[in-house]
């Protein structure tokens, strides 16, 4: 029989959910969620899964090469379309759009001149823009809205080669933030 320390209590029904669990879906945790992504994750025509830090398949990216413009479908684990990512045909500036249905949700533009660090801007249709800055090629960057961190992308949390982690702040649309990470990957590695 196992002995417990005198001060220790058995977890009861009110025990808080463990961080990193799918607690946000249960509505019990607004803390950050972490997702695993691979470097050079997708090229047009390829498919790719984004997993939670515990290895559960969370989102699927379907690369469509059948259209005039490059298109990626961002889907939930059940295969339902959530967002679509397309290159925009704008001269002199690399730009990609994230849409939901027929509505443009975000347009990500690469800055012309970046003297000190890489920088992108996500012009958000439904609110304040998201600034994306840091070392984009090395997958060490942050996303901020009005100076408040929305997400952090880093390799420091994983010991897996060719992979990085995306930590999404509580209260954010995880799928949209991850779709923006896919856009960053496409812009930086095309």
pLDDT at 32 over 70: no
User: If we measure between CA atoms, which residue out of 137, 119, 138 comes closest to residue 129?
Assistant: 119
Q: What is the pTM of this model?
A: 0.74
With DSSP H G I counted as helix, E B as strand and the rest as coil, what are the percentages for the chain, rounded to 5?
10, 40, 50
User: How far apart are alpha carbons 175 and 105 in whole angstroms?
Assistant: 12
The pLDDT-based confidence of 172 (bands split at 50, 70, 90) is: very high
The pLDDT value recorded for residue 78 is: 94
Kindly report each contact of residues 140-147 with a partner whose C-beta sits within 8 Å and lies 24 or more positions away, as own/partner. 141/184, 143/177, 143/180
Q: What confidence tens digit (pLDDT) does each residue in 49-79 have?
A: 899 988 899 999 887 654 445 778 899 999 9
Check if the beta carbon of residue 65 is closer than 8 Å to that of residue 50: no
The pLDDT value recorded for residue 69 is: 54
| Domains and their CATH numbers in the chain | 33-189 (2.40.160.200)
């Amino acid at each position: 029989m196992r002995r417990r320390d005198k001060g220790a209590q058995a977890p009861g029904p009110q025990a808080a959910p463990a961080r990193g669990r799918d607690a946000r879906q249960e509505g019990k945790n607004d803390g950050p969620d972490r997702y695993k992504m691979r470097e050079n994750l997708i090229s047009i025509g390829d498919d790719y899964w984004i997993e939670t830090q515990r290895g559960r398949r969370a989102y699927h990216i379907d690369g469509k090469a059948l259209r005039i413009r490059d298109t990626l479908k961002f889907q939930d684990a059940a295969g339902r379309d959530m967002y679509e990512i397309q290159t925009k045909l704008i001269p002199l500036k690399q730009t990609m759009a994230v849409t939901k249905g027929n509505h443009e949700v975000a347009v990500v533009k690469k800055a012309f001149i970046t003297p000190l660090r890489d920088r992108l801007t996500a012009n958000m249709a439904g609110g304040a823009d998201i600034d994306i800055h840091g070392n984009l090629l090395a997958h060490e960057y942050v996303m901020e809205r009005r100076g408040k961190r929305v997400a952090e992308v880093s390799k420091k949390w994983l010991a897996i080669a060719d992979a990085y982690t995306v930590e999404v702040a509580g209260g954010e649309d995880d799928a949209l933030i991850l779709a923006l990470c896919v856009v960053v990957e496409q812009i930086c590695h095309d």
